[in-house]
Structure 1
Amino acid sequence: MSRIMKILLLFTFFFGASEYVRCAEIFAVIPSPFYSHQATFRPLWRELARRGHKITLVTTDLMEDNENITQIDYHGAYEVFARNNVMTVLKSELNIFKVMSKMLDAVEDLIRFQFTHPELVKLLESNRTFDVMMIEFTQPGWPLLSVKFKCPFVGLSTMDAHPGVHAAVGNAAHPAMYPYVDFGFGEKLTLKERIFSAGLTVLGMTWSNLIFRPMGNRYVRKYLGEGMPDITGIHKNASLMFVNANPIFFSPRPSTPITINLGGGLHLTHPKELPKDLQKYLDESKDGCIYVSFGTTVNSAYLSAEQKEVLTSVFKDMAPMRILWKFDEVDIANKPKNVEIRTWVPQQDVLRHPNVKAFITQGGLQSMEEAIDSAVPMLGMPFYGDQNNNVNKMETKKFGLKLLPTEMNKESLKAALKELLENPIYKKNIDKLSAISKDQPMKGLEKAVWWTEYVLRHGTQHLRSPSADIPLYQYYFLDVIAVVSVCAYVFYKLMKSLILTLVLILRKLYNFFIVKRKRD
């Protein structure tokens, strides 16, 4: 290769390609005190950092040190949730109005904690700038920092986004087709469910517009300055929305170009070796092993003594099959010999072991995606939130079964496990779904990185849909229907009046010409 050619190639690399590899300052915010929310997007932070981008990360669970990632510890959000009994409220049988009231107090306390955090205050006072913000969309107020930093922002959702979020960016948000995931409805809503969904959607929007957003505006302006715009409008300015929604669990919806579905499984890692003792335990489980985990937030406090007794008793009867249980109560009463309890296990790699035949789960989205990836049938025991909806989808698609914790007894648990292990339909279906979920043209992580850098290169104003800017009454043609209805009514009244007038005239003419002539 000639010297001139080499110089041209170097010139092209350093200058022509510089637009595509320019390192950026990124402010990433995941302030939810749920470990699964943090774990979902960690691969994205690592990959962006590997590519040279500098990330300032607000997180409730610190990850490993990285020279390109500066972390701000918001672990105190767990304490906020604890003192407001958020987890108790979520799993309670309170009516929706009491839940909203209690959650409002918790959100107010959380906003106060988040925006008075010393590290955030220090960051805001430093007049530092960022090239892009990446923010968990459900967190009130945080998108307004993009105004403070004068940069675009990308909304993040670890699952299918809230209907209000979809509506804000112009996506379809019909309550009959896309109800709130917390409702736990099946794929085809009955008339009763459609009425319920429509009513609660209107109630939720009213509560959000009249109470939640004004409260958010008040606190955000208190902490960030009175010049901050309205929270409602700022959501419409999102450059992108990353939704980590596995199509196996969520019905596809018409969406705008700025809505990027990462397809679920963003947090999935490459297989790693298990710890030697755990590898030995699973290798020796010749009669199979059932893996049990209720996630990071459902701990022993969620289970009554009676429920624990049911679990240990049924597990004992499963021998010689082994049970590997990820649980915070290692010394549980009456623990059978065939049960191994650990406070932590590398779940993804445990599920990949061929001797794991079933997974008892609370129905968390990330856990279910890991089981689908490894093709392990599941018994779902939902406790709160989207878990019920996830487990309903699992039961509908027949790659697992559902058993409510409140309805669990020895007979029902034993029958469910027997059905799951002996009926081949569940393994067959999850094998098929596992193959579908892996057959994608681009992995979710690659998609997230590419689109993040796309925003840095070009912005997304040219992708913005007009559907994001029209109010709901225009979106659903309510104004058109109203005008047409009024016009039709006026036309009807005019025609009725005209016809009556014509009839009257004809009658008079008849009387004048016909009746009078006969008399004459």
Structure 2
Amino acid sequence: MRILLSLILFVSVSEFARCAEILAVVPSPFFSHQATFRPLWLKLAERGHKLTLITTDPMEPNENITQINYNGSYTIMNNKIGGVLKSNYNLFSIVLEFINASDEFMTYQFNHPGLMELLNSKKKFDLMLVELLMPGWPLLSVKFGCPFIGLSTMDGHQNMHAAVGNAIHPAIYPYADLGIGENPSLKDRLASTAFVVMSELVLNNAMSYIGNKYARTYIDKDLPDVRDVFSNVSMIFINSNPIFFPPRPVTPVTVNMGGGLHLKEPKKLEKDLQKYLDESKHGCIYVSFGTTVNSAYLSAEQKEIFTSVFKDMAPMRILWKFDEVNIANKPKNVEIRKWLPQQDVLRHPNLKAFITQGGLQSMEEAIDSAVPMLGMPFYGDQNNNVNKMAHKKFGLKLSPKEMTKETLKAALKEVLENPIYKKNIDKLSAISKDQPMKGLEKAVWWTEYVLRHGTQHLRSPSADIPLYQYYFLDVIAVLAICAYVMYKLTKYLFLSLVNVVRKLFNCFIVKKKKE
């Protein structure tokens, strides 16, 4: 009995010893970014780790998770950047608007009472997991003296890949928000290269300046440059679904969760919703533009187009997640609710199509349930995602700005009646599910691997060489100089030889004449 109790105690102590204090930071005000990593926080907490979570969308209380509520970031974003997003301006406009709004944004984030309390508590952390989107946050790993793992809800941006030595190429791996398709034209390649150069020379320096300024003002004036800290990232977790992003050669410290990290086990629908879908004998179309695109993004004319076309589609039913429940002229075959359990709605067999803004997580959910889509992108990476959807023919693209009653009706008719879209998404759904290990399992295992061993032994030399060496620009320059010198030397010798021959020939002619 004593031996058994000792063994139980030993196992308990061993499990406790493996538990860690983890700081998790996802400060971007987009619910989809928060939802992507929630399963990871919950699974780590379930395994006994203690998490301190900085989030804009707090979860249900959990005894192992202490949450710091950054929900005020939404107000600043809507006031300062919301107008740009609603106007569907380009990426450059959004970046410039963020820089203009950075003072209010970063003052709120780095001077937050919850963060100040955490810093004053002198708490120690074994590891930090941080979304690499908002500037300056990796500097907290220096303040707490712990390694950090970088997070991205999609494929990582160029600097993120460069920090760990992954392959980067503006033509093969263009920035997602540029919306460049599968076979980039010369114009696309020029635009992508120009954006990379601008990012390297202007944007990254601006973001680093912003991060350094506010972190040093509110956290510690002696913090190092965020660029130096960023380059020491222990590992990166990216959510690069191979259906949307081209395969990329990566180093061992890159963990691709493969998309669908946020997918949950099926749950029963509420009785009234289950009844509504069960009784949709002629099929049902689900409409949702995500958590950010609300009624303010749609004009009265666009709303009227939707209601008119939906009315004409009766007896087929429409289930619409929308904040404007009492929309004008709502047809009888349309049910509007402010919130719906999207994953379980998409799993219903009577669901025939999904009208979506093209958010990555929404598209992954539709692929998982094999529901063809009509993509209507508004901003950000949505345009790029929908372009890929249309290219791979598991859905169609229709720009909200170009939408008319005729184009919307024709697009829905094509998606619903042409079997190619259902056939292709069935195939993609099977591919996306056929993985040796789920993304959540990979993320948990590698998080604990970093806690156990660190990753210095996995670091690639390619992470520490400058771009001019990475692209052989110095070698090309030396070879070009050598080729130029050889050309000049060869030309000189050739001309000298010609002159000698000419002189000898002239001498020979003169001699012949004298004879």
TM-score by length of structure 1 reads: 0.94
2 CA distance for matches of 1:127 and 1:8?
35
Shift of 1:199: 1.6
2:57 aligns with 61
- After superposition, the C-alpha distances for 1:436-485 in whole angstroms (9 at most, x for unaligned) are 10000000000000000000000000110111111111111111111111
2:136 aligns with 141
Residue 249 (structure 1) aligned with residue 207 (structure 2): no
Aligned length: 515
Shift of 1:213: 1.9
Q: Is the Cα contact below 8 Å between 2:22 and 2:52 reproduced in 1? A: yes
Q: Is the Cα contact below 8 Å between 1:400 and 1:426 reproduced in 2? A: yes
- After superposition, the C-alpha distances for 1:255-286 in whole angstroms (9 at most, x for unaligned) are 11111100000000000010111111111111
The alpha-carbon distance between structure 1 residues 222 and 329, as it changes in their structure 2 partners (threshold 3 A), is: same
Spell out the pairing of 1:112-151 with structure 2 (5 A cutoff).
Answer: 112-151=107-146
2:366 aligns with 371
Counterpart among 374, 384, 387 of residue 382 in structure 2: 387
1:473 aligns with 468
Residue 263 (structure 1) aligned with residue 258 (structure 2): yes
SS of corresponding position for 2:236: strand
Equivalent residue letter for 1:27: L
Residue 333 (structure 1) aligned with residue 349 (structure 2): no
1 CA distance for matches of 2:112 and 2:286?
39
Equivalent residue letter for 2:77: F
Shift of 1:244: 0.9
- After superposition, the C-alpha distances for 1:210-249 in whole angstroms (9 at most, x for unaligned) are 4232232222222222321112222211111000111111
Residue 79 (structure 1) aligned with residue 75 (structure 2): yes
Equivalent residue letter for 2:332: K
Q: Is the deviation greater in 6-15 or in 341-350? A: 6-15
- After superposition, the C-alpha distances for 1:151-196 in whole angstroms (9 at most, x for unaligned) are 1100000011112222222112211111111111211101121112
2 CA distance for matches of 1:446 and 1:28?
18
2:181 aligns with 186
Shift of 1:355: 0.8
2:28 aligns with 32
2 CA distance for matches of 1:114 and 1:374?
37
1:45 aligns with 41
1 CA distance for matches of 2:9 and 2:89?
66
SS of corresponding position for 2:352: strand
SS of corresponding position for 2:318: strand
Q: Is the Cα contact below 8 Å between 2:136 and 2:210 reproduced in 1? A: no
SS of corresponding position for 1:436: helix
Shift of 1:111: 1.4
Counterpart among 193, 201, 204 of residue 196 in structure 2: 201
Q: Is the deviation greater in 87-96 or in 115-124? A: 87-96
Q: Is the Cα contact below 8 Å between 2:135 and 2:210 reproduced in 1? A: no
Q: Is the Cα contact below 8 Å between 1:23 and 1:52 reproduced in 2? A: yes
The alpha-carbon distance between structure 1 residues 287 and 88, as it changes in their structure 2 partners (threshold 3 A), is: same
Counterpart among 160, 170, 173 of residue 175 in structure 1: 170
Unaligned runs of 5+ residues in structure 2 are none
Query: What fraction of aligned residue pairs are identical, expressed as a percent?
Result: 69
The alpha-carbon distance between structure 1 residues 103 and 3, as it changes in their structure 2 partners (threshold 3 A), is: closer
Equivalent residue letter for 1:241: I
2 CA distance for matches of 1:151 and 1:281?
51
2 CA distance for matches of 1:477 and 1:460?
27
TM-score by length of structure 2 reads: 0.95
2 CA distance for matches of 1:220 and 1:507?
76
SS of corresponding position for 2:287: strand
2 CA distance for matches of 1:490 and 1:451?
53
Residue 402 (structure 1) aligned with residue 397 (structure 2): yes
Residue 318 (structure 1) aligned with residue 313 (structure 2): yes
2 CA distance for matches of 1:391 and 1:200?
21
Q: Is the deviation greater in 106-115 or in 207-216? A: 207-216
- After superposition, the C-alpha distances for 1:58-93 in whole angstroms (9 at most, x for unaligned) are 000110010000000000101111221x13213435
Residue 344 (structure 1) aligned with residue 327 (structure 2): no
Equivalent residue letter for 2:36: T
2:284 aligns with 289
Let me know the Cα RMSD of the aligned residues.
Answer: 2.3
Shift of 1:120: 0.5
SS of corresponding position for 2:358: coil
Residue 454 (structure 1) aligned with residue 449 (structure 2): yes
Spell out the pairing of 1:93-104 with structure 2 (5 A cutoff).
Answer: 94=89, 98-104=93-99
2 CA distance for matches of 1:47 and 1:374?
24
Q: Is the Cα contact below 8 Å between 2:376 and 2:399 reproduced in 1? A: yes
Q: Is the Cα contact below 8 Å between 1:169 and 1:235 reproduced in 2? A: no
Shift of 1:513: 8.8
1 CA distance for matches of 2:29 and 2:483?
55
1 CA distance for matches of 2:227 and 2:171?
24
2 CA distance for matches of 1:475 and 1:50?
42
SS of corresponding position for 1:142: coil
The alpha-carbon distance between structure 1 residues 161 and 107, as it changes in their structure 2 partners (threshold 3 A), is: farther
1 CA distance for matches of 2:280 and 2:504?
103
Shift of 1:94: 4.6
Equivalent residue letter for 1:377: P
- After superposition, the C-alpha distances for 1:83-123 in whole angstroms (9 at most, x for unaligned) are 21x13213435566544432212233221111000111111
1:235 aligns with 230
The alpha-carbon distance between structure 1 residues 98 and 44, as it changes in their structure 2 partners (threshold 3 A), is: closer
2 CA distance for matches of 1:208 and 1:229?
19
Q: Is the deviation greater in 450-459 or in 154-163? A: 154-163
Q: Is the Cα contact below 8 Å between 2:29 and 2:56 reproduced in 1? A: yes
The alpha-carbon distance between structure 1 residues 127 and 409, as it changes in their structure 2 partners (threshold 3 A), is: same
Shift of 1:205: 2.3
- After superposition, the C-alpha distances for 1:4-56 in whole angstroms (9 at most, x for unaligned) are 8x7997698568x659x700000000011110011010000000000000000
